[in-house]
Structure 1
Amino acid sequence: MKAATLAGVDMLDVGGYTRISDIGQLGDGRDGREGVVRQREDVYDLAKGSRCNVHRIYEDNDTSAYKRRVKRKAFEDMIIDLQTGTISGILAYNIDRIARQPRDLERLIDIYEQARRPMVFGTTAGDYDLTTADGRFQARIYVTIANKFSADAARRVARQKFAEAQDGRPHKGQRAFGWKDLEHVDPVEAEIIRKARRDILNGKRISTLHREWAEAGVRAPQTPEGKTISYTSVKYVLRNPRLCGYRAYIPQEHRERSGRLDPVEYLVERTDGTPIVGKWETIFSPEEWRELVDELDARKNTGAGRQVGSTVTKRLLTNIARCGECGSGLNSAMYQRGTKSYEKYGYYYVCKPANGGCGKLSRSGPPVEDYVEKILLGHLKKQAHDVTPTEVEDPELTQAKEKLKQIDADKAEARALRAQDRLSLAEFAREISRLEGKEAELKEKVSTLAVSPIRASSAAARIIREWKSYTVDMKRAEIRRSIEAVVISKAGKGGAQRGVFRPELIEIVWK
């Protein structure tokens, strides 16, 4: 600290800033907590040799000053205290502890330039008078050098991490949800994920699943203390390629620009286009994981699964039930509060003119829903028993599967030709786009045809067993798989008004 700059000035209150970028792991040779403790000692030594009093130590432990999306809480507190005059300067071990991004230094320079009071900026490597052009020039040079060192180090680390990904080695650091360490599955969390997959495929919304996990106290390893698991974390867990053994790699610069990204888009592939398989225990097979991801992708265009603005209905038969007079889909409405109908049924289905209907039909909701559920479960029970194990696979399904295999081979060939520079980038892009379009059509066809009698029987038995635990969304999804429409005919004079349920007025149209 330059004593001359403080001659005749009362002792100044300053802030001491300490920071370590990465505390490391136990036993890996990096500093950890000891690093900031040593920096704290340096700050107090600096203060002793100057007319300064350390008002507060601002400590950011295990926090990068280089990564753009990282928020340094103590640094931000220090900025506020500088602006308000609570402190009149900063002491630190080195300027790179304070800033490794030029924009952070510029924030400090603005404060120092506009201050109308004595200010100090001292480090063990020297002082910087940010109120002068020369002092600002020196500070900017050192921060620019520190920024370059960080960029070089980040590039080396990124190259090493990508090499590890190509070798199939697991991510280091915090464990992933579903595993108790880098390699071994956690049985409890794995079962939570397996059940979630079954529920999603049966129509449950992610918002419902998120609410259930939060209420049950399910927490991801990254969930802050005192917080519940977030909606985006639930989506990330379900889409994580690690579930089936695939290795993903998201470059740090992509994370910094966009935050949490979809790992499905960052699979590491071999030169033939096949995914790298990692060296850890898996929870799903690749086919099971892909089926789950396809279901989640299919919902992106419909809004299903979103809590806010969702088009998913609260009622079981909305737009599945249809008016027998005009064929329009029925909507639900609440009976007037205080009436007997409200107390007994709560809501009813109605053909609304506002939605293009005739307005001539309405029916109490719960009795109709109970009847449709009973008929559907009877249908599934019959399906569970009527199995023909010897039935030959549909020839159309076999042909579609063969075409999919051929597309995989064609894609691999196109990648190989591109790797050998025998295809231009434009030709390669057009060919891959064409093949992926065909692939999407065939996958949809296969999923439609691929329900074998034995699998259908097993699925039907499971649905019957778990039906009471299904949400409205899951029940609707199952009804839509089997039923085209539930046609409700007009009751005639007096029939519905007297509360008599007449099943002969309900026709179920099966798919």
Structure 2
Amino acid sequence: MLTVGGYTRVSDVGRLGDGRDGNEGLMRQREDVYDLAKLMRCNVHRMYEDNDTSAYKRRVKRNDFEAMVIDLERGLISGILAYNIDRIARQPRDLERLIDIYEQARRPMVFATTAGDYDLTTADGRFQARIHVTIANKFSADAARRVARQKRAEAIDGRPHKGQRAFGWMDSESLDEREAELLVIARRDIINGKKVATVHREWTELGIRGPQTPPGKTIGYTSVKYVLRNPRLCGYRAYIPQEVRERSGRVDPVEWLIERTDGTPVKGQWETIFTPDEWRELVDVLDARKNTGKGRKVGSTVTKRLLTGIARCGKCGAGLASGMYARGTTSYEKYGYYYYCRKADGGCGSLSRSGPAVEEYVEEALLGNLKDQARAVRSAAEEDLEPAEAKATLKQIDADKAEARRLRADDLFSLAEFAREMRRLEEKERETKENVSGLSVAPVRTGSAAARIVREWGNYTIDMKRAEIQKSIEAVVVKPVGKGGAQRGVFRPDLIEIIWK
């Protein structure tokens, strides 16, 4: 009596929409396999079962199918029984794996279904099996094409995706308040300079899990990047074809926005977390930090200290590096670290300064500058100045946007050309609005933003503080003390020069 493995499979339970979990289908197949085993006088070693698992999708791993293949190779089982061959394979490559094992086996083997037997050790048997799997593959491809067409039509209509919920929502339409709040905070902090890696670490410490996070795990770094870029956050509808997902895995959803003929994104029918402008600003910041292929990522810093690369030597002009004082020394106990001009970086190597005091001086100067900006903007707002030329410029920008949309609708603009033109006009619009106050020197930030930074400065991370410093300060020049000018333990602000932008 041959010992065989029984195989059962149900695919895509989530699409049924009737509350079934697939177990009923597995049970029916299981009964048929046991009846087949009695008829063929085989002993079933074990039942290999894959529930809610596709045999057609290339990137789907069928755990029990893989276990069955291994047991077949090792000789623990001498064949496979199933309800139908399409339960075992819908991709020719899966059948070919089994054929290789049957051809090389030097023992009696069986490959049978309730619809008929296939002798995979003979050319005729392999031919019949290949035909049936090819037909099953064609049926799956036709069904996938129909489903894809339906899903794209739903996307164009703005209807929400009915599959697994997105991070930030309880279902396809309603927000999850806790996750939505996490996203709002993450956006604000990233705009202010925080790294995605820092956000990921904070979420990990909070035990945050995503919809696709495996049991017992926390959300992954790539998942955090994905949810922050999801157009769904601001109500935009995206559609990523299934074949793209299967070929490339997780792709950037920003590149798959659904647009109307006039080039405007399709708005979905669900609650949103950000406005379109807020989401675009976040995506722009994340894009600015992507690796350029020339080493350090643009917009990011690989550093532990607040002023590394910002502080410069007053003697040779080189950027200062940071180092730790020797453990056990008085300087280590009092200051911990210092900035110094390093010869290896092309500097003179003859200047150093304790770090904390310099940083504290720069932080106080920056916060004072921000407070002045907040007061200046409030004063300008009270005067309500709005030059006529700014109004004219904004009016022309609106006209140019309308013309760009018309050209896109008439297919005279490619999607790439339209996107570049709209970005250029939006940037010009933003700059014009920032300058309509009529001040001779426009503040770097709005009054409310400057006030918020001052208020929240104590909660900023090092990378967030560095980002704010670099927006306002060109360099911090640390001047040499000179002969006889050193006073141990005394900080001299006159030897620190802040060069403002």
In structure 1, give the amino acid aligned to 2:91.
Q
Query: What is the deviation of 1:381?
Result: 2.4
Q: In the TM superposition, what whole-angstrom CA distance separates every residue of 1:347-379 from its partner, at most 9, and x where no partner exists?
A: 211112222222221111111111111221222
Question: Partners of 2:17 and 2:161 in 1: how far apart?
Answer: 18
Q: CA deviation at 1:449?
A: 5.7
Alpha-carbon separation, structure 2, partners of 1:181 and 1:50 = 48
Return the alpha-carbon distance in structure 2 between the equivalents of residues 396 and 121 of structure 1: 82
Q: Which of these residues, 170, 174, 182, is aligned with residue 180 of structure 1?
A: 170
| Greater mean deviation of Cα atoms: 400-409 or 160-169 | 400-409
Question: Given the alignment, which residue of 435, 448, 451 partners 1:461?
Answer: 451
Q: Does 1:295 align with 2:285?
A: yes
Correspondences of 1:317-332 after superposition (within 5 Å)? 317-332=307-322
Q: Deviations over 1:252-282 (max 9, x none)?
A: 0111110011111111111111111111111
Kept in 2: contact 1:58–1:75 (CA 8 A): yes
Letter in 2 for 1:168: G
Aligned length: 489
The aligned amino acid for 2:210 is: A
In 2 relative to 1, CA 243–404 (structure 1 residues): closer, same or farther, beyond 3 Å? farther
Q: Which residue of structure 1 lines up, in the alignment, with residue 405 of structure 2?
A: 412
In the alignment, the residues of structure 2 paired with residue 182 and residue 66 of structure 1 have an alpha-carbon distance, to the nearest angstrom, of 26
In the aligned structure 2, how far is the partner of 1:52 from the partner of 1:400?
A: 84
- Counterpart check, 1:238 vs 2:235: no
- CA distance in structure 2 between the aligned counterparts of 1:19 and 1:305, rounded to whole angstroms: 48
Deviation of 1:434 (Å): 5.0
Q: What corresponds to 2:208 in structure 1?
A: 218
Query: Which amino acid in structure 2 is aligned with residue 414 of structure 1?
Result: L
User: What does residue 51 of structure 1 align with?
Assistant: 41
Corresponding position: 1:267 with 2:260: no
- Which residue identity does 1:409 align to in structure 2? A
Write the letter of the residue equivalent to 2:360: D
- Equivalence map 1:85-100=2 (5 Å): 85-100=75-90
2:68 corresponding residue in structure 1? 78
Residue-by-residue CA offset, 1:358-414 (whole Å, 9 max, x unaligned)? 222111111111111122122222333331213435777656655553443233222
AA aligned opposite 2:54: S
Give the AA of the match of 2:246: E
RMSD: 2.4
Q: CA separation in 2, counterparts of 1:371 and 1:168?
A: 53
Shift of 1:159: 0.6
1:255 aligns with 2:245: yes
Residues 1:281 and 2:271 aligned together: yes
Distance 1:397 1:206 in 2: 37
Q: SS at 2:14's partner residue?
A: coil
Compared CA separation, residues 337 and 192, structure 1 to 2 (3 A): same
Structure 2 residue 484 is matched with structure 1 residue 491: no
Instruction: Indicate conservation of the 8 Å contact 1:205/1:304, yes or no.
Output: no
- 2:350 corresponds to: 360
Task: Give the Cα–Cα distance (whole angstroms) in 2 for the partners of residues 25 and 154 of structure 1.
Answer: 12
Indicate the SS of the match to 2:476: strand
Structure 2 counterpart of 1:413, one-letter code: R
Residues 404 and 131 of structure 1: is their aligned pair in 2 closer, same or farther, counting only changes over 3 Å? farther
Residue 242 of structure 1 and its aligned partner are, at CA, apart by 0.8
Question: 1:66, 1:83 → 2: CA distance?
Answer: 23
Alignment correspondent of 2:493? 503
* Structure 2: stretches of 5+ with no match in the other structure: 438-442
SS in 2 for 1:150: helix
Q: Distance in 2 between matches of 1:496 and 1:54?
A: 88
Conserved in 2, the CA contact under 8 Å of 1:165 and 1:249? yes
Q: Distance in 2 between matches of 1:236 and 1:124?
A: 45
Any gaps of 5 or more consecutive residues in structure 1? 1-10
Query: How many Å apart are 1:335 and its aligned residue?
Result: 2.0
Matches within 5 A, 1:425-436: 428-429=413-414, 433=416, 436=419
Corresponding residue of 2:160: 170
Kept after mapping to 2: 8 A contact 1:299/1:305: no
Matched residues in 2 for 1:170 and 1:50: separation?
Answer: 50
Among residues 144, 147, 150, which one is paired with 2:137 in the alignment?
Answer: 147
Tell me, what secondary structure is at the counterpart of 1:49? Answer: helix
* CA–CA distance in structure 2, aligned partners of residues 57 and 378 of structure 1: 72
Letter in 2 for 1:203: G
SS at 2:178's partner residue? Answer: helix
Assess if the C-alpha contact under 8 Å between 1:304 and 1:311 holds in 2: no
What is residue 97 of structure 2 aligned with on the other side?
107
Task: Provide the rounded CA distance (Å) in 1 between the counterparts of 2:151 and 2:197.
Answer: 34
Structure 1 residues 119, 35: closer, same or farther in 2, change over 3 A?
Answer: same
Separation in structure 1 between the aligned mates of residue 17 and residue 428 of structure 2, nearest angstrom: 54
Q: 1:403 to 1:57 in 2, by over 3 A?
A: farther
Please say if residues 312 and 473 of structure 1, whose CA atoms lie closer than 8 Å, have aligned partners that are also in contact: no
Moved over 6 A (4+): 303-307, 394-397, 452-455
| SS of residue in 2 equivalent to 1:24 | helix
Corresponding residue to 1:478 among 462, 468, 477: 468
**3-state SS, counterpart of residue 17 of structure 1:** strand
For 1:384 and 1:462, the matched residues in 2 are separated by 9
Give 2:32's aligned amino acid: D
Contact 1:336 1:342 in 2 (8 A): yes
Instruction: Judge conservation of contact 2:397–2:429 (CA < 8 Å) in 1.
Output: no
